[in-house]
Every structure is written in C-alpha cells, then in structure tokens.
Amino acid sequence: MTVPVIWVTAVALVLALIGLLVTLRSYRGLRHAQLTRERWFQHQMERLEREHRGLESALAGFGRHLDHVDERAGQLEERVTQLNARIDAVAAADDDEPGFGHALRLAAQGRVSVEELIDDFGLSESEALLLMRVNRPDEERASGR
C-alpha cells in the first residue's frame, strides 16, 4: 500500500498552508500589540511633556515671586536703617527728656520690657513697641513676626 506521491505532496502543501496561515495570524497579532504599545508610549510621552511645561511655568512664577520677596526685603532693610538713624538722631537731640535717651539705651541693650518702657518712662504702647522692634529685630525674625 503505497500512497501516491500526489497525496503526500497535497498533504504537505496543506500543512505548509496551515503553517503559513498560523504564522500570518501570529504576525498580525504581534503587529497589533506593537501598535498598541506604541500608542500607549506616545500618550505617556505627551502627558510627560504637558507636565514638564506646567513645571517650567510654575518655576518661572516662583522665580518672579522670589525676586519680589528679595526686593521687598531690601526695602524693609533700608526702612529699618532709616528708622534707626531717626531714633539715634532723636535720642541725641532730646536733651529736654533724658529719660527717652535712657529708655532707648536700655531697649538697645535688651535690659527693659515693653511694660517697663510704658510705666517707667511714660512712653505710649506704640512708642515702646517701636523701640523694642527697632533695637531687637533678630528676636522678631526668630519668633516669626
């Protein structure tokens, strides 16, 4: 019982065709998966680029804010210097009220409280607070005022 060659050839051809179809279907599936991954990566890249642009914008705004803070700090420092100079001038020229000069020296040395300035030297509360703030600004920065 021999099988004619034509049948063997036909079976081989059918098997080859089935193998080709399976390979083609696998290729299409892999190609579809690859396209899906590429779309996903593209979407992720676009999202990251949007976030990057947002961060750059936020950093630029923060830089402008810091510039404003630096400018304001310089203005405040200049104002404190002017106030110190005025207080020194008032203390030096205030011969009629030697108590004020004494209060100024005590405040500068940190040896007097606001209440003592009010009670002992007759200063108003705002004057006493001003003397304390001008003469002890480091404590105010440390306390967060």
**Residue 72 pLDDT > 60:** yes
What would the pLDDT profile of 36-55 be if each residue is shown by its tens digit? 999 999 999 999 999 999 99
CA distance 64 to 82: 27
Tens digit of each residue's pLDDT (9 = 90 or more) over 2-48? 778 898 999 999 999 999 999 999 999 999 999 999 999 999 999 99
> Where exactly are the structural domains of the chain?
1-59, 72-145
Per-residue pLDDT tens over the stretch 88-122: 766 665 555 557 778 888 888 888 888 988 888 88
pTM of this prediction?
0.40
Q: Is the pLDDT of residue 128 over 80?
A: yes
Give buried/exposed letters for 18-54 (b at 16+ CB in 10 A, else e). eeeeeeeeeeeeeeeeeeeeeeeeeeeeeeeeeeeee
pLDDT band at residue 145, thresholds of 50, 70 and 90?
very low
> Quick one: pLDDT at residue 77?
94
User: Distance between CA atoms of 21 and 8, rounded to whole angstroms?
Assistant: 20
Regarding predicted confidence, which is higher, 123 or 101? 123
Residue range 125-141: average pLDDT?
Answer: 76
In this prediction, residue 46 carries a pLDDT of 97
